[in-house]
Amino acid sequence: MANLTSTFVGIKSPNPFWLASAPPTDKEYNVRRAFEAGWGGVVWKTLGEDGPPVVNVNGPRYGAIWGADRRLLGLNNIELITDRPLEVNLQEIKAVKRDYPDRAVVVSLMVPCVEEAWKKILPLVEETGADGIELNCGCPHGMSERGMGSAVGQAPDLIEAITRWCKQTTRMPVIVKLTPNITDIRGPAQAAKRGGADAVSLINTINSITSVNLDTFAPEPTIDGWGAHGGYCGPAVKPIALNMVAEIARDPETAGLPISGIGGVNTWRDAAEFLALGAGNVQVCTAAMTYGFKIVQEMISGLSDWMDKAGHSSVEEVVGRAVPNVKNWQDLNLNYITKARIDQEACIKCGRCYAACEDTSHQAISMSPDRVFEVKDDECVACNLCVNVCPVEGCITMEELSPGAIDERTGKVVEKDYANWTTHPNNPMKVPAE
């Protein structure tokens, strides 16, 4: 049996599935239900300084993007950090950690960029027995306008300073949560490492407006006729999150820095992909908010079954396995050639592949009068569009061909052969040698 036990920056949990800092981790009641359902850990919803209370909106806090089948693809939220008193949160964290010593309890924090503010709150959190802290440098709405959240995450010097203040003050592991609302994620990650961070977590939510009500002309969610930008999360952000995790994992300056992967983890497969690209564990929010806490049971069983079948005995064996296979574009093999192949027995003759290729691609699929679709190898550039638009899984596939080989279907030589190509000094793309 695969061992799903996770040790992340010294924090042990029975599995690598943690709940992210968000509404599901805002209070003791929720967290206890989560642990009873099987979650390996939680990051408690972000605490702020002990001062004037945080005031959240009392109207709709979430906007949504759905697929054609009403499946939730993304949420936009305009909720702020916890609006519950600091002392109440601290008491509840202490009680939960006491009763669930085998689960990870990490506390998310966000206070002003003043050293004394951080030094004041850290001993209070440490006294609860929490396993670690996560510095919220990612929230893109509400708090960022106050100079916190993503306003810090977009300023590497502030990330480095805050991280250093925390490392000098607390015994707890320090995880820095990064914002995706930046051009290059590597800079903030490098800053966190310079400050002494034990790990980074990413991504936080993406700045967004999900929709506009065309009757009132106000962004949604709408508060008294007005709307605001919020943070976007859910399955739709997973590709962005995977790329940013991989960028940090393969950057020589941050290689080896532990990563907690966040963003669109909806299934065990999503989690496995994050692990393969360098994440040591994953954090989940939208899936739990969509399906309830017991979704973790499917994630645990699915990941365990896959690991057993693949021969992976521990989570650590999976972490980073895909990182060496991530390359810059100019390092890809231009000698690699594939052509589309259509399984005529599986084809339902819908014509979507033909329409997509004929109208928007390379006119590489023919259609006979009786609606038989075939690939024209001379025109096919293997773009994969036909595979992606075909509604029948496995009906269209890509067949690898060797450069210079005879294509048995056409009897022609596969013409592309870049064996003698080189790199032009003024162009990172591959160009023919002179």
Burial tier of 248 (Cβ tally within 10 Å: 0-12, 13-18, 19+): buried
Q: Supply the DSSP string of 186-201, one letter for each residue.
A: HHHHHHHHHTT-SEEE
- How far apart CA 221 and CA 232 sit, in angstroms, is 12
Q: What are phi and psi of 350, to 5 degrees?
A: -75, -25
Rounded to 5°, the CA angle 333-336-388 comes to 105
- How far apart CA 240 and CA 243 sit, in angstroms, is 5
Catalytic position from the list 139, 353, 357, 380: 139
Q: What is the dihedral of CA 242, 30, 96, 283, to 10 degrees?
A: 0
139 is catalytic: yes
Is residue 160 within 8 Å of 203, Cβ to Cβ?
no
Identity at 428, one-letter amino acid code: P
CA distances to 66, 180, 208, 214, 272 from 219, rounded to whole Å, are 16, 22, 10, 9, 36
Rounded to 5°, the CA angle 95-24-69 comes to 160
Closest C-alpha among 2, 51, 3, 43 to residue 23: 43
- How far apart CA 247 and CA 242 sit, in angstroms, is 9
Q: What element of type H or E holds 341?
A: strand 337-342
Tokens of 283: 């954090």
Assign 3-class secondary structure to 260-283.
Answer: EEECCCCCHHHHHHHHHCCCCEEE
Catalytic residue list: 139
